[in-house]
Amino acid sequence: MSIPYMPIYWGDYLGDTQHLTAIEHGGYLLLISHYWRTGSIPNDEVKLSRISRMTMKQWNNHGPTIMEFFPDGKNKRIDRELSKVGLKSEKMRLASEKRWNTNEDAKSLKSLDADDACALPEQSISNANQNQNHNHIKEEDNNYKRTALATRLPDDWNPSNADIEFANQTGVDWIKNAEIFRDYWVAQPGVKGRKANWSATWRNWVRRASEQRVTRPQSKETAIEMGIRLIREIQDEPHTGNTIDHHDFISLPRQ
């Protein structure tokens, strides 16, 4: 048994030890300290003398008086205090486990409902604005626990079959997005690159990619056509279509 502190009721102690000499006080305190740490004292005169820091001659003279406090090698007062402290410690441990398990269950449900709302930077900003309404201390506690359980995306991450099926259902090119997703999150430093649920983060990523695909149709123009369009936009020229006008090309001087 290892308990970091030992309560001493000095009124009771002095009342019970008025008859002890100075050397007997020292020996008794050393013995009860050993008893508190180990739960017993040895049944050996040599060991008892060493624990009490006495020579064998001193122990033979003072040991019998000290041992009156340890009938049959036991000290009922210390045993009672050890039981009280042990019971209190066990209650605190059980209460802590119960509180931790409750918080874990609540956080798991919250994670499922939120579907990892911090998947993309824009969503992180939205969540930060909502969290400002919560209690400051509670927010810090939740952020600490969330960060402690979050992990970084492995460098060799690939979407699972379920992740691929979800992307296919939304019409998103999962191969292309998986590469971008992996490179983006592996490159994120510190806490920003840690998530509690990477599958949920992937689903949010795919949803955002699907929204962008719908609102911004992919252009079929060639690289040359895109260059001409950009030049026209810069010069505020009207765009008449995708037909290539060779007069619009910029001639570069020969080297």
Helix, strand, or coil (residue 221): coil
Cβ distance 194 to 152 under 8 Å? yes
Residues 1 and 99 in one domain: yes
In this predicted structure, the answer to whether residue 9 has a pLDDT above a threshold of 60 is: yes
Q: Are 60 and 48 in contact (CB under 8 A)?
A: no
Give me the residues paired with residue 152 across strands: 194
Same domain, 119 and 104: no
Considering the chain, what is the average pLDDT of its residues? 76
pLDDT tens-digit readout, 98-133: 777 765 555 555 555 555 555 555 444 555 555 555
Q: What is the DSSP letter of 194?
A: E
80 and 107 assigned to the same domain: yes
Of these ranges, 22-31, 87-96, 226-235, the one predicted with the greatest mean pLDDT is 22-31
Domain boundary among 87, 112, 137: 112
CA 194, CA 51: separation in Å to the nearest integer?
54
Residue 195 φ/ψ, nearest 5 degrees: -135, 150
Which pLDDT does position 71 carry in this prediction?
93
Q: Which one of 89, 112, 135 terminates a domain?
A: 112
Q: Are residues 2 and 55 in the same domain?
A: yes
- Looking at 81, 112, 143, the residue that finishes a domain is 112
Give the DSSP H/E element, type plus range, for residue 151: strand 151-152
Q: Which range of residues forms the domain containing residue 166?
A: 115-218
**Could you tell me if 106 and 129 lie in one domain?**
no
pLDDT band at 88 (very low <50, low <70, confident <90, very high): low
User: For the residues of 90-132, what is the DSSP string, one character each?
Assistant: HHHHHHHHHHHHHHHHHHHHHHHHHT-TTSSHHHHHHHHHHHT
Q: Determine the pLDDT at residue 250.
A: 47
* 15 shares its domain with 100: yes
- The pTM of this model reads 0.37
- For CA atoms 25, 27, 30, 34, the dihedral sign is negative
Top mean-pLDDT range of 33-47, 97-111, 117-131, 141-155: 33-47
Residues 125 and 181 in one domain: yes
Shared domain check, 108 and 4: yes
Mark whether 5 and 31 lie in a shared domain: yes
Between residues 112 and 58, the one the model is more confident about: 58
**Over pLDDT 90: what percentage of the chain?**
29
If asked whether residues 173 and 190 sit together in one domain, one would say: yes
pLDDT value for 248: 47
Query: How many domains would you assign to the chain?
Result: 3
pLDDT digits (tens, 9 = 90+) for 164-204: 999 999 888 889 889 998 888 888 888 888 888 999 998 99
| 7-16, 30-39, 180-189, 232-241, range with the lowest pLDDT | 232-241
Residues 6+ positions from 237 with CB-CB distance below 8 Å: 231
Q: Are 116 and 196 in contact (CB under 8 A)?
A: yes
Q: Which residue has the tokens 């079929």?
A: 220
- Residue 102 is predicted with a pLDDT of 65
- Rounded to whole angstroms, the Cα distance separating 63 from 54 reads 9
| Banded model confidence at residue 218, pLDDT cuts 50, 70, 90 | low
Q: Are residues 73 and 7 in the same domain?
A: yes
Using the predicted structure, report yes or no on whether residue 77 has a pLDDT greater than 60: yes
Residues 130 and 207 in one domain: yes
